[in-house]
Amino acid sequence: MIKGGFYFVLNTEGEVIRCRARGRFKEKGLDLLVGDLVAIDYQEAVINKVYPRKNSLLRPQVANVDQVVILMPASRPAPDLVFLDRLLVMAEKASLEAVICLHKTDLLASRERDTIREICMVFQDCGYRVLLTSALTGQGVEELKHSLQGKISVFAGPSGAGKSTLINKFKPELNLQTAPVSFKTQRGRHTTRHVELFRLTKETLVADTPGFQRLNLEGITLQELSSYFPEMSLPVPCRFNSCLHRAEPGCAVKEALQKGKIASWRYKHYLDFLEEIEQLEKKKY
């Protein structure tokens, strides 16, 4: 955890050491992130060295994780699929595994269940691991725990999704602060303020993070976007190498869409993201 200019370093013995960082990290413009592997001088309680990162994410800000657990309420409010697809694109860009949890299933009305099942199937067909979870009934909690084992996972999702609640389930003594979503707006209250890594077992770490709602697609090019939609990698390629799968002739993606092999809402998000990236690029010049 990073707080008030201090870096709280978890050592191999499972102790947390409060450190400062040597000035030269700042001089080099190197910001330390939660998840960074560091060497510390115990006498002076300073961080001496930061090891090269395997990966890093901007939102949530974290380094060296193996997978992202995307926690999205299944109900109240209904899942925000645009935001979910954005998170997936960012996970793909960082080459991270993603586990999608459609959470709070205890709140689902019976008329909502079919929709949630369909959403699950679409993501599963794309190759993602999807779990239906509830901290209240315990549905999917053991399964999720199992998929965390031996990995470093970061929880991501909107405020009020239930990230801290679930992590408390895995390790009650953490006693992380949680708060109900606002009745009126159905939004969370931004209860968690810092990214923090917790050790569940010797090899299993999870990062709780502050919820967020917005994520722009900074750093993604028009050409690479479709490679972050796994269902758009087709055995037979499009006629043109540079195909953006909009209205180009001989487009294999559009063909798959017409045959119902690609979900129309995922394709729509792809088009919306393309447009957004185009706007971002225009602003730069």
Ligand X SMILES: Nc1nc2c(ncn2[C@@H]2O[C@H](COP(=O)(O)OP(=O)(O)OP(=O)(O)O)[C@@H](O)[C@H]2O)c(=O)[nH]1
Residue type, 92: E
Per-position x/- string for 107-146, each x denoting binding to Mg ion as judged by CB under 5 A, each - no binding: ----------------------------------------
Decide if 153 contacts 68 (C-beta within 8 A): yes
Please identify, using beta-carbon distances, which residue of 64 and 134 lies nearer to ligand X.
134
In the bound state with Mg ion, the residue whose beta carbon lies nearer, of 34 and 238, is 34
Is 86 a residue that touches Zn ion (CB under 5 A)? Answer: no
**Which listed residue (75, 134, 153, 164) binds Mg ion by CB under 5 A?**
164
- Contact in structure between 174 and 168 (CB atoms under 8 Å): yes
Which of Mg ion, ligand X, Zn ion, none does residue 216 bind to, with CB < 5 to 8 Å depending on kind? none
Query: CA-to-CA distance for 117 and 121, rounded, in angstroms?
Result: 6
Q: Which residue has the tokens 């926690």?
A: 71
Q: Which does 277 bind (CB under 5 to 8 A by kind): ligand X, Mg ion, Zn ion, none?
A: none
- Look at residues 42, 44, 46, 64 and name the one whose alpha carbon lies nearest to residue 54: 64
Q: Are 209 and 62 in contact (CB under 8 A)?
A: yes
The DSSP annotation for 149-208 comes to: TTSEEEEE--TTSSHHHHHHHH-GGG-----PPPTTT--------S-EEEESSSS-EEEE
**Least distance between Mg ion and beta carbon 206 (Å):** 12
Closer residue to Zn ion, CB minimum distance, 163 or 245: 245
Point out which span in 27-35, 178-186, 194-202, 250-258 binds ligand X (CB under 6 A).
178-186
Residues of span 233-252 touching Zn ion by CB under 5 A: 238, 243, 245, 251
Question: Within a 10 A sphere around the Cβ of 207, how many other Cβ atoms?
Answer: 26
Residue numbers at the binding site for Mg ion (CB under 5 A):
163-164, 191-192
Which spans of this chain sit near ligand X (rule: CB under 6 A)?
A: 103-104, 106-107, 134-136, 157, 159-165, 178-181, 188-192, 210-211
